[in-house]
């Protein structure tokens, strides 16, 4: 599994030294142009030699009032994402893999051949301040049964371990953290050869809420389109990637976490329910920014 993809610190656990900042730019790609964006990256960049393509799964944590989600929705330049990440389709939290009913997990815990008793996951804090971001992560092994969807509400790891790790990362939440939503997507990874910038395109972004009292219990709700992320040491875009501005729409605020929560909380039939906050397709080939009412997010138990 990827150890430190898209992270500046080189140690296996990014605890020994503060990670260096990177500049992150995002481009939202309409569904009908996803293939075009992927073709551009395949032509101008080198595929990541170790992990060129694969599924990324994350369980996101937030406070009872969804503080980090509110910051993202409001456009706050200071944001943190607290999550546990694992890779591959075997333990797909959206219901496509063995983790949906826990069958393989039970077999693994019983020591049966062909099933993993433990799975490596990563405890992560992603920090964003304006265009600059850092990411810290720590690998831990967990029972495979903890990745079954029915178990995600318990947070995969003990709360004390999560809080202790975040404290070592310099993050001290004012209130308790809760698991909120599981998000999965398919990621293609590239390296831009002239600058060494890391580039990825994420599509099939699916989510399932694990927090009570929000949404309608939909599983694998899929956001439309794809997201290209360009990460490097400076804000300047590599020359070969400049056509991304024509293929997609620059939308650095785009957050898979907040967009997924908004989609689950929005009224059925809303025109822009599955589009990034503040954007919708006004006509074929033309994306317009619009004012979308903020979702009526509710805290657990309310």
pLDDT at 4: 39
Give domain limits for the chain. 22-289
Sites in the chain below the pLDDT cut of 70:
1-19, 96-116, 251-252, 277-302
pLDDT at 162: 97
pLDDT at 18: 59
152 contacts 210 by C-beta, under 8 angstroms: yes
pLDDT at 100: 54
Nearest-angstrom CA–CA distance, 80 and 89? 26
pLDDT at 278: 59
pLDDT at 224: 92
pLDDT at 277: 65
* Token digits of residue 195: 């600058």
Which of the following CATH numbers is that of domain 22-289: 2.60.40.420, 3.90.1300.10, 2.40.320.10, 3.30.1490.100? 2.40.320.10
Max CA distance (Å), the chain: 56
pLDDT at 135: 93
Q: What is the pLDDT of residues 183-195, one digit of tens each?
A: 999 999 999 999 9
pLDDT at 201: 98
Nearest-angstrom CA–CA distance, 226 and 41? 13
């Amino acid at each position: 599994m990827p150890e430190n993809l898209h992270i500046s610190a080189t140690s296996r656990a990014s605890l020994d030294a503060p990670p260096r900042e990177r500049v992150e730019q995002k481009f939202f790609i309409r569904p009908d142009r996803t293939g075009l964006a992927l073709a551009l990256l395949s032509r101008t960049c080198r595929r990541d030699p170790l992990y060129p393509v694969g599924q990324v799964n994350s369980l996101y944590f937030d406070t009872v009032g969804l503080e980090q989600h509110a910051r993202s929705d409001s456009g706050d330049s200071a944001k943190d994402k607290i999550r546990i990440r694992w890779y591959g389709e075997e333990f797909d939290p959206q219901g496509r893999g063995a983790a949906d009913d826990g069958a393989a997990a039970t077999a693994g815990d019983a020591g049966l051949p062909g099933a993993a008793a433990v799975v490596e996951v990563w405890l992560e804090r992603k920090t964003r301040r304006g265009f600059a971001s850092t990411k810290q992560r720590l690998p831990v092994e967990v029972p495979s049964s903890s990745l079954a969807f029915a178990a995600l509400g318990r947070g995969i790891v003990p709360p004390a371990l999560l809080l202790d790790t975040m404290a070592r990362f310099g993050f001290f939440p004012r209130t308790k953290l809760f698991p909120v939503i599981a998000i999965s997507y398919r990621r293609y990874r590239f390296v831009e050869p002239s600058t060494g910038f890391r580039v990825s395109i994420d599509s099939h972004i699916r989510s399932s809420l694990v927090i009570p009292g929000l949404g309608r219990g939909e599983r694998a709700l899929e956001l439309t389109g794809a997201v290209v992320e360009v990460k490097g040491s400076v804000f300047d875009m590599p020359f070969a990637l400049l056509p991304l501005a024509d293929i997609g729409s620059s939308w650095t605020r785009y957050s898979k976490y907040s967009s997924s929560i908004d989609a689950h909380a929005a009224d059925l039939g809303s025109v822009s329910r599955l589009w990034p906050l503040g954007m919708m397709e006004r006509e074929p080939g033309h994306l317009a920014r619009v004012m979308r009412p903020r979702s009526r997010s509710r805290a657990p138990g309310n």
